[in-house]
Structure formats: C-alpha cells, structure tokens
Amino acid sequence: MKKALKIFGIVILTVIVLLLVAPFIFESQLKDLVKKTMNDNLNAQVDFEDIDLSMFRSFPKATLILEDLSIINNEPFKGDTLATGKEIILEMSVKELFKSSAEAKRIDALILNDAYVNIVLDSLGNANYDIALEDTTSTASGGQGFSLDLKHYEINNSRVIYRDEASKISLDVRDLNHEGNGDFSLDESELDTYSEGLVSLDYDGVNYLNQHSVVLDAIFQMNLEQLRYTFLENEARINQLPLTFDGFVQVNEENTEMDISFKTPSSDFRNFLAIIPETYAKNIENVETRGDFIVDGRIFGKVDDVYIPKMKITVNSENASFKYPDLPKSVDDISLDMEILNDTGLAEDTYININNATFRIDQDRFTTRANISNLTENMLVDMAVKGSINLANISQAYPLDLDQDLNGLLTADIQTKFDMNSIENEQYQNVQSSGTASIKNFRYASPEIPNEVKIANANMNFNQGNVRVPELKLTTGQTDLTASGSLENLIGFLFTDQQLKGNFQASSNTFSVNDFMVAQTEESIEKDENGNDKTVSTPTGEEAVKIPSFLDVVLNFNANTVLYDNLQLKNATGTLVIRDETAQLQNIKTSIFNGNIGLDGIVSTKEQVPTFEMDLNLNSIDIASSFNDLELMQNLAPLARALEGKLQSTLNLKGKLNDDLTPQLSSLAGNALAQILTAEINPEKAALLSRLDSQLNFIDFNDIDLSNLKTNLTINNGMVEISPFDFNIKDIKIGVAGSHGFDMNMDYDLSLDVPAKYLGSEIGSALSRLSGEQMQSMRVTLPVDLTGTFQNPNVALNMNQAVNNLTQRIAEQQKRNLEDKAVGAINDILTGKRDPKKPFKKDTTRTDTSATNVPTKRDSITRSQQEQVKNAAKDILGGILKSGKKKTDTTQQKQN
C-alpha cells in the first residue's frame, strides 16, 4: 500500500511539475506559431503586446491569452484600424500542445474581451475586413495553424461599427455582450446564443435607432454545409418592446436569401410605450393602459448588390389610452395606422405611410398624416398636421425629463408637399405649403440664459416655401421686441441641416444686450441611474454673447434705448445681418454722449476667441462723458479726461473680443482721426498736466486754444502712436509727437516755442544789452521729454539742446545786425549823407570795440562774444525754469 501511495504521489507531483513548466516549454513555440499563422493568412499589420499560456485557468484545458491585439489595414484602407482587443482567450485540450508544428491545433473556446471592431465597405465595394490571403495549404487538410472546432465563444464589453458607404447604412453597437454554445465541428447543430447591446442605426442620413437597448435570446439551427441559419426558439426586446421571430437566413455564393417574420407576442398597448427609449419610458410596468398595439412584419427576398429584402411592416392601435400613476392627466383616443412597404426589393421603392396618428389630452386633439416615398433617391414627403394643444399638459400626462417646463398654446393647421432635392437646392418654388400656425403665452427658461424668454404671440402663415410671420412679440429681462417678416426655408431647416434664413423688421422700446448673455458650459461624462454613460453640461460661471450658427437672417431694427455693458444708446437704427456665426452691422446710427455715432463692421464668434472689424464715426460727442464711460477712449487719449467740450472722430479698428464682446485692448490695430471742436481744460484732472503746470511757470492753461485741433492716431500691438501736431497757449506754440501704450506708459516729445518777452524784465534787459532792441522779439525753443506713466509722469527739460538753439538764434541775429549796419553805411555814402573819409561813430551797443572799419558780410562773432551769447542764453532759460508761483507779465508792468 505504501508503495502504491508513493507511486501515486510521484505521478501527481510529476503532473504538477509538468503543468508548471509547460508554459515555459510551449509559450515561445505558440507565440511564434500565432504570429506565423497571422502573417501567413492576413494581409494586414497584426501585432500583440504579449502572449501567456496557463495550465490552471481552465484546467484541464490549456488557456492561451493574447494581450492588446491590433489589426491595422493595408491598402486601400491603409492606416485604418480594423480591430483591437484588450484580451483574446483561446482554450484547447492539453494534448494539442504536443502536436508538431505541422499539425493544426484545434480551438475549443474563443473569448474576446474589450474589443473594438470597425467594419467599412467603401463606395467602390471594397471591404476592410477582406484581409484573408489566398490559402494554398488548407488547414483543414493538416496545414499549419489553428482550426476552430468551437463549442463556446464570447464577446464581452465590446463595440462593433458597420458602415456601408454605398448603401448609406451605418450601424453602431456599443456595450456589446454576446455568447454562443454549439458544436462547430458538426455539419448540422444547434447554436444557443444570447446578445445584448445599445444599437444606433442610420440609413441615408436618417436616424432610426439611437442607442436603443436590444436583447436577443435565440436558438438557431445551423447547417454549416449549406450556410443556412433558422430561428427555432427566440425572444427579443427593443427597449422594452417584446418581439418573436420565425424564418431563416441562407448565405449563398452570389447573394443572401432570407424570410423572417416578427410580431409582438401580445397586443397590449404597453408595447407602444416600450418602443420609447428606456430613459424616457419611466417605469411602464406601473402605467395604466387601454386598447391594443400590434407590430407585425415580414422581411423576405434576396440581398445582393442590387436588391434589398422586400418588406411589409404594419403598426396599428385603436382607441387606446395610457396614464402614469403619479401624473394628473392621461393621453386618450390614441389611434395609429402606419406601414412600411417595399414590393420590389429595390431600395428606392421603400415607402412609409402614416395613414393616421391621433391623440387627445383633455379637450386638446392633435392629428397628423404623412406619406414618405422614394427614400433612397429624391425623397418625397406629403404631410398634414392639424390640432391644438396646451404644451403644459404634455408634461402632466407624460414624464418628460426636461430642464424647463413646457407651456403655451400651440395651434396648427398645415399641409405641405415637397421633395428633398428641391429643399437641398433651395428651390422653394417647388414646395407646396399652406395653412397657419401660432403659439401664445410661451415661456422658456434655462440655466444658460439669465432671464426667462416670454413670447406673448407668434403667428406663421405658410404659402408655398415661404413662411410669413406677421407678428412676433417677445420679452426677456429688460428687453421687449416686436417683429414681423418671413422665413425662406423653415422646412429646409427642420428636415435638413440648412441654416434658418429670414428677413425681419424689428422694433424695441428697450433692448439689453446683457439679456442675451449665454452661460458658458463644459461637458463631462457621468453615470446615470442604470450605470450608463451620459454627457452632462455644467455651467462654468462665465457668460458670453454667442451668435447662433443656425441663423442666416437680415434684421432691420430700430430701438428707443439699447443697453450695452454700462452704455445707454438712444434712437438706434440700422441693419444687422447674422450669418455663419458672424454679425454684420450696416449703417448703424445712434445717439450717445449728447452726440451721434455711426457704425459699420462685423463681429464674429465663430472661433473660440471672438473677433471684430469696425468703422466708427463719432460726431459732436461730449468729451467728458465719453472718456469717463468708454475704456477704449480712455486708452486712446488719456489726457482727454481733463477736457470739457465736443469731439468728432473717425476710427477704423480690428482685434479680438472678450466673451461679453468688449475689446481686448492689447489686440487692437487700426487708426483714428480725432478733431476737438470746442474744449476747456482742467489740469487738476490729469497728473501730467498738473506736473507741467507746476514746472513751467510761464504757462497758463487757461489760455490754451484747442479749437479745431486735429491729429491722427495709429494703434498696433497695444500701442498708440500720435502723428505730430501743435497747438497754442496764448502765443506759445507747443508741438507734440510720440506714443503711449494701453498700459499707460508713455514716450512723448514736446517742443515749446516761447517768446522772450514772457521771461521777465531782467531777461529783457540782458537781451537788449546783448543784441539790441530787435532781441525783444527773440523766441526760445524748449524741448521737453515725457516718460513714465500718465498717473506718475516724468518731465525732463532738455537744457543743452535749448541753450544751443537759443545761442544759435542770438548769433544769427547779431550777424544780421552787423550786416544791416554795413549796408546802411554804404547807402549813406552813396547818397552823400556821409563823408566816406570820416570815421564811423563808435557803436556803444556792440561788445566788439576793436572794429573801426565798416563791417562786412565776412565779419564773424568773436569767441568772447560767443561766450557772452551763451551766458545770456543760460540766463534766459534760467528765467523759464525758475520754480514757484507763476510770474505776472513784467513787460506789461514796465509799460504801465
């Protein structure tokens, strides 16, 4: 016995050791085999991160795991991802590991986790999944690789996209979980499957399913030799609508043949509510229902490059009703007669008839009918809507999950008939529409807007493709608006992605731009109560004016008062063209600051940062008011805050805008021409003027003359450059040139041309001794450099340049005096008034006592004279620069 136990222990230990070392023995071989099999059989770039062999994960079977598999297409889909998988699990018998590399290894189970499959058929019929190379050595006859004798397979938490560009079909299945149990080694067997996922289906641009929950629990009869699959037992749910299927699918070499029938297993009207996505259906198990709802359909025929299946699907309900237990109202008299038909198998012969769709809430009844045909070509629509409904009753009868309450009375009696080609090509003369629609006492509130929007009345008259709006009355916040006009393409806007085009006349007593500030939001992904992802928009706390992208409207307006930021504009008129998220302002005129403004330009919110280009004409506006209220004007001319008077200007500007559509000053570029019509100055209101007033004691700003002062400004990169200009303070001429920034730093040059007579009697006497009576008209040029900021300026007087300028002027005047005396003496001799032999009388006014001959033009000022001139210039400038209280005019005192 001991010996037997010992042998058994050795066997068990040996098996365990083999199980432990087997992965190391076979892993490398299997990795090479997998890569070789893929490369030999697939025309694509196939790769995986790692491969792992386990003997214990599904013992007694061996488990092969491929991690992070990716399949990337070659031409004609080069670079596109066909498939990725986080984990692919293959289960096989342990004995398969001991087969030679020349023998195919049979796979018993296949599991695919977290996969993404992207199937594309282009317009030429090329399929991106057609990557299999022609097999010259069939694995079925013993070639290298793997063979699938599956008993079980799974696809977990995956996504499959199918897009057929030629047929215009797009299918997207998210959160896919699918499994099947059968025996693929047999020619005929049963396959037991379970599938669930969120299905979205688009056909020719029309969305038929949008993440609808689809579940199918079905058993199929498989005939792998004939490729025929037959429904045996099955139960399906679309959202919560139950369906059962009968029929088969036969895959032939040239086409696919099918004949599938489906229907609701019961006629309870609860089935109708089940069609609605679960998010909106809201606990239909507790809903009280009456009447029936039946879906009955058949899809049959052949499918190939030309034909689609024929079909006949009917949906019927008679005298039905439903009521949610927690809501006060019910929906009654529900009738539905709808069919989807195709008798030929040609896609263009598919049509939808809504023969009748009626419901009633309280006394409000609404009815519609429609015929839609030629779906895949030039779709034809014939539709009529009639009825009235209190919108507030909808939320009292059906549990809508809305951000704001429905309200208002909607009345409609409309008939329309059109084809989609005419709509898309804007040939609205081909649209046959008639009837009227109106909405009264409608209110709209949202966290995204600051005030509730109230529409007292809005009427629409339909005539051909045009919709006339004879009256629209709207209020929100401080804003009231009355409008009338027309919409050119309401049907095109409703049925396609066209912009809404129109032309309106609008008037307002008060229009506040702030009432249309849109709250900025950011999107994030959150989980709902069922654990599904949903996109949530959360306000950021910031607001912005956004121009709607769907509008293409011309608006002629007049408003008694427009409120914009802190401004109040009166009697505003003009034209506003809204197109492509851009507002074009044409011939805008308004009264503000006791003057008028004319404006033309564009504002665009198309990009993340809004932009503008603007031409402004300011006519006779009040300087003080405009510079106190407009930040732009404060930065263009900071000193204007010290002025009282009138201004006119033209500005051409462009740049970026803040979210509230105020300019980003650092981005501005353009130019301006400004003219002061009348102005008085108060130096105490500007630090720079006060500093100049204290340092230049001979200037009295009460004597300033700014009438008709003009200057050009160039704005670029946050800098304002002033073209040179001059003005007078009494008979002192002041020249100005330079620039400043919107940060209030400045770099200006002043040139003061000052009469010497303002410099006092002492300076006047010095000039008289130096140069004669003519020197009394001498002027002094004084350069001044202004730097620092307007709030804290630096005033620098350029003494050296001033002395040099004055010295040069005095020297030139002395030279002219000598020349004048010489010419006078020669004239006296020639006319006999003076004896040429008699010497000249000594000129006691001259500092040069050595000259006894007649001076000529070749005479020059001596070095001693130059020093005297320079000293005199310094004395004169010293008089200018003395600090303290302003001096009175001593020349006037002397005369008195």
Token pair in block for residue 668: 């501005």
Alpha-carbon span 393 to 259, nearest angstrom = 44
Q: What is the helix (H) or strand (E) element at residue 872, kind and residue range?
A: helix 863-881
Q: Which of 347, 339, 340 is nearest to 309 (CA)?
A: 347
**Could you give the dihedral angle defined by the CA atoms of residues 587, 592, 596 and 600, in that order, rounded to the nearest 10 degrees?**
-20
Check whether 127 has a pLDDT greater than 60: yes
* Angstrom distance (rounded) from CA 768 to CA 624: 46
Residue 759 domain flag: no
Domain that holds residue 862: 773-895
C-alpha distances in Å from residue 651, one per residue of 125, 593, 621: 60, 17, 14
- Of the pLDDT bands very low, low, confident and very high (cuts 50, 70, 90), residue 135 is low
Mean pLDDT of 621-646: 76
Q: Any bridge partners for residue 73, and if so which?
A: 44
- Mean predicted confidence (pLDDT) in 285-298: 87
Q: Give tens-digit pLDDT for 455-502.
A: 888 888 988 778 888 988 989 888 898 999 988 877 777 767 777 888
The answer to whether the CB of 125 falls within 8 A of the CB of 166 is yes
How much is the pLDDT for 855? 43
Distance CA 618, CA 636 (A): 14
Cis peptide before 76 (omega within 30 of 0): yes
Does residue 790 lie in a domain region?
yes
- Residue 864: inside a domain: yes
Which residue is it, tokens 């040939």? 427
More confident: 727 or 856: 727
Average pLDDT of the chain is 76
Residue 141 has pLDDT above 50, yes or no: no
Q: Rounded to two decimals, what is the model's pTM?
A: 0.57
Averaged over 589-595, what is the pLDDT? 87
Considering only residues 7 and 156, tell me which one the structure prediction assigns the higher pLDDT. Answer: 156
CA neighbor of 271 nearest in space, from 202, 209, 200, 320 = 320
**Residue 344's pLDDT is what?**
92
Residue given tokens 């002492």 in the structure block: 762
Residue 861: inside a domain, yes or no? Answer: yes
Tell me the C-alpha distance between 181 and 586, whole Å. Answer: 72
Q: How distant is the alpha carbon of residue 648 from its chain centre?
A: 36
Helix, strand, or coil here: 8? helix
How does pLDDT run across 729-782, given as a tens digit for each residue?
777 888 888 888 888 888 888 888 877 666 544 444 445 544 445 555 667 777
Alpha helices per DSSP H over 304-355: none
Q: Do 264 and 306 contact (CB within 8 A), yes or no?
A: no
Task: For residue 848, give the 3-state DSSP assignment.
Answer: coil
Q: Per the domain annotation, does 516 fall within a domain? A: no
Least confident piece of the model among 67-76, 123-132, 365-374, 715-724: 123-132
pLDDT band at 516 (very low <50, low <70, confident <90, very high): low
CA distances from 833 to 214, 826, 830 (A): 130, 10, 8
pLDDT at 97: 62
Q: Which residues contact 823 (CB under 8 A, 6 or more apart)?
A: none
Q: Cis peptide leading into 60, omega within 30 of 0?
A: yes
> Pairing mode, if any, of strands 551-564 and 500-512?
parallel
Among residues 67, 115, 70, which one has the least CA distance to residue 89? 67
H/E stretch holding 93 reads strand 81-93
Pick the residue with more confidence: 804 or 506?
506
pLDDT exceeds 80 at position 420: yes
pLDDT digits (tens, 9 = 90+) for 689-736: 777 777 776 677 777 777 777 888 888 888 888 888 888 877 788 888
Percent of the chain surpassing pLDDT 90: 14
Query: Measured between alpha carbons, how far is 650 from 644 in angstroms, rounded to an integer?
Result: 20
pLDDT tens figures, 297-309: 999 999 887 888 9
- The residue behind tokens 């491929």 is 66
Burial grade of 627 (CB within 10 A; 0-12, 13-18, 19 or more): buried
Q: Which two tokens stand for residue 775?
A: 């020197």
Cβ neighbours of residue 521 under 8 Å, at least 6 residues apart? 448, 537, 538, 539, 540
Q: Are strands 61-73 and 81-93 parallel, antiparallel or unpaired?
A: antiparallel
Q: What is the pLDDT, as a whole number, of residue 757?
A: 63
Cα 675–chain centre separation: 39
- 796 within domain boundaries: yes
Please give the pLDDT value at position 297: 92
Greater confidence (537 vs 413) lies with 413
The reported pLDDT for the residue numbered 857 is 40
- Of the given ranges (38-52, 209-223, 242-256), which has the lowest mean pLDDT? 38-52
The confidence score (pLDDT) of residue 103 equals: 62
Which amino acid is residue 10, in one-letter code? I
Structure tokens at 307: 């034909």
Contacts of 519 (CB under 8 A, 6+ apart): 447, 448, 449, 450, 539, 540, 542, 543
Closest CA to 458 of 492, 478, 485: 485
Out of 177-191, 348-362, 486-500, 830-844, pick the least confident: 830-844
Using alpha carbons, list the distances in angstroms from residue 814 to 755, 758, 806, 852, 870: 18, 21, 12, 17, 13
Contact 241, 275 (CB under 8 A): yes
> Domain count of the chain?
2
pLDDT-based confidence at 668, cuts 50/70/90? confident
Cβ neighbours for 367, distance < 8 A, ≥ 6 positions apart: 356, 357, 358, 385, 386, 387
Q: Any bridge partners for residue 62, and if so which?
A: 92
What is the rounded CA–CA span in Å between residue 737 and residue 711? 10
Question: If you count them, how many residues does the chain have?
Answer: 896
Number of Cβ atoms within 10 Å of the Cβ of 369 = 17
Closest CA to 489 of 577, 548, 440, 430: 430
Q: Per-residue pLDDT averaged across 877-883, rounded?
A: 52
Work out the burial of residue 806: count CB atoms within 10 Å of its CB; fewer than 13 is exposed, 13-18 middle, 19 or more buried: buried
Q: Which residues contact residue 25 at a Cβ distance below 8 angstroms, ignoring those fewer than 6 apart? A: none
User: Which amino acid is residue 667, in one-letter code?
Assistant: S
Report pLDDT for 261: 93
Q: Is residue 74 part of a domain?
A: yes
Best-predicted range by mean pLDDT (187-201, 617-631, 696-710) = 187-201
Q: Which of 148-152, 258-262, 596-600, 780-784 has the lowest mean pLDDT?
A: 148-152
Other C-beta atoms closer than 10 Å to the C-beta of 392 total: 16
Q: In this structure, what are the phi and psi dihedrals at residue 605, rounded to the nearest 5 degrees? A: -115, 20
pLDDT for 463 equals: 83
Instruction: Give domain status of residue 216, yes or no.
Output: no
State the Cα–Cα distance between residues 225 and 107, nearest whole angstrom. 20
Is 335 a residue whose pLDDT tops 90? yes
Instruction: Please name every residue paired with 724 in a beta bridge, in sequence order, or none if there are none.
Output: none
CA-angle at 163, arms to 158 and 166, nearest 5° = 165
Q: Is the pLDDT of residue 155 over 80?
A: yes
